[in-house]
Amino acid sequence: MPADPDRSDLSGQFPPHVLRDYAFLGDGERGAVVGPDGDLAWMCAPSWDSDAVFATLIGGAGCYAVTPVGRYSWGSHYDHRSLIWNGRWVTTDGIVECRDALALPADPHTAVILRRIRVLSGSAQIRVVLDVRAGYGLADMDELALGGEHAARHDRLDADGWRAAEAAVDAIRRRGGEPDAGIWEIDPERWAHSRLTCVSGLRTIAAHAPARQAARCNALAEAILTDVRADCLHPDGRWQRSPGDPRIDAALLLPALRGALPANDPRSRATVAAVEAELVRDDYVYRFPPDGGGPLGEEEGAFLLCGFLLALARHAQGDHIGARALFERGRASCGSPGLFAEEFDVDQRQLRGNLPQAFVHALLLECAAVLAPGEKQISG
């Protein structure tokens, strides 16, 4: 059916803002992004990888907004140690608060959005818009059939988990030497970080497997390590991106952190030194040098994830003060809601790329745990 003309211009009524102004709500099954105008500007349902039903964040249709009428100024914060978001607006006549959350416990098939609106002082007129669209805003909800999933979750590696681990080992054995194109790579290549990550995974499986299976995993890990050493060991003694690309890559910090080889291995130390020398600018870390050989930052922003990787690498090599400095620099690179994007523009001091970026938050939490006073280094 055609879209309601009264609702078709929501993307113009709730335009995108700078990334630092958005907050994130989550219930473990899905997430929603909230803007400073009280608008749920992005939400996929029923699960993380489903189509978006709110999409004004990217100029589409679909939105759930609670917004004061008239002029207002905005401020906001999370409740302590929670994903309950408090948006507050000071209008010409009063102060209004909207508390937002996704309900817990989560239902895999049903999203429950909680919004409590209060006038804290004076009076206020509130506009509420609920426009749920399917397919990233391209269709009304009656055109969409929401399906259910999700798999059982376990806090231990049961029989199904071991079968999955064995399938991964078999896939590495059969295809580990083939070129690959990961989620951040453009062209298939025999990427050094991909193969070294396989070494990390095999060693981790071997540490928990029965003796015979452990021996097979360790033997395969050594064979892959020998293969990478043959075609991706730079003359300077560090790892390089691929056989045909001698540049350094901050992704090459990760294998040593995950047990592919020791942190004090000469190749690990040389890789950290090369990242420090070539990819760090103002204590922000870039993924790899640009193809054109120009200054860092002209083509990509600094990758916040890579800053936390380098902090962990410094810590593993005994540079605890340097690790803390990088951690604090990265930790301060969030928006006002405390959320991180994928990249950071060092010149403009602005977040860039996907927001929120789960990998960045995962490394932030790992860094916080590893660098905490009195904590031992986490490995594996």
The one-letter amino acid at 63: C
In sequence order, what are the beta bridge partners of 100? 85, 115
Q: What distance lies between CA 270 and its chain's CA centroid?
A: 27
Q: What's residue 95's pLDDT? A: 93
Q: How many CB atoms lie within 10 A of CB 271?
A: 26
Q: pLDDT tens digits, residue range 9-53?
A: 566 788 888 888 899 999 999 999 999 989 999 999 888 888 899
- Residue 72 DSSP class: E
In sequence order, what are the beta bridge partners of 350? 345
pLDDT range class, residue 120, cuts 50, 70, 90: very high
Give which of 257, 254, 182, 267 is closest to 228, Cα–Cα.
Answer: 267
Residue pair 251/195 in contact by the 8 Å Cβ criterion: no
Work out the average pLDDT over 141-145: 44
Residue pair 64/131 in contact by the 8 Å Cβ criterion: yes
pLDDT range class, residue 149, cuts 50, 70, 90: very low
pLDDT range class, residue 376, cuts 50, 70, 90: very low
What would you report as the CA-atom Rg of the chain, rounded to the nearest whole angstrom? 24
Q: What's residue 152's pLDDT? A: 28
Q: Is a pLDDT exceeding 70 seen at residue 124?
A: yes
Q: What distance lies between CA 173 and its chain's CA centroid?
A: 29
* pTM of model > 0.85: no
Percent of the chain's residues with pLDDT above 70: 86
Q: Is a pLDDT exceeding 70 seen at residue 302?
A: yes
Give the whole-angstrom CA distance, residue 234 versus residue 245: 10
Q: pLDDT tens digits, residue range 72-106?
A: 998 889 998 888 999 999 999 999 999 999 998 88
Q: pLDDT tens digits, residue range 317-345?
A: 988 988 898 988 888 888 777 788 888 88
pLDDT range class, residue 4, cuts 50, 70, 90: very low
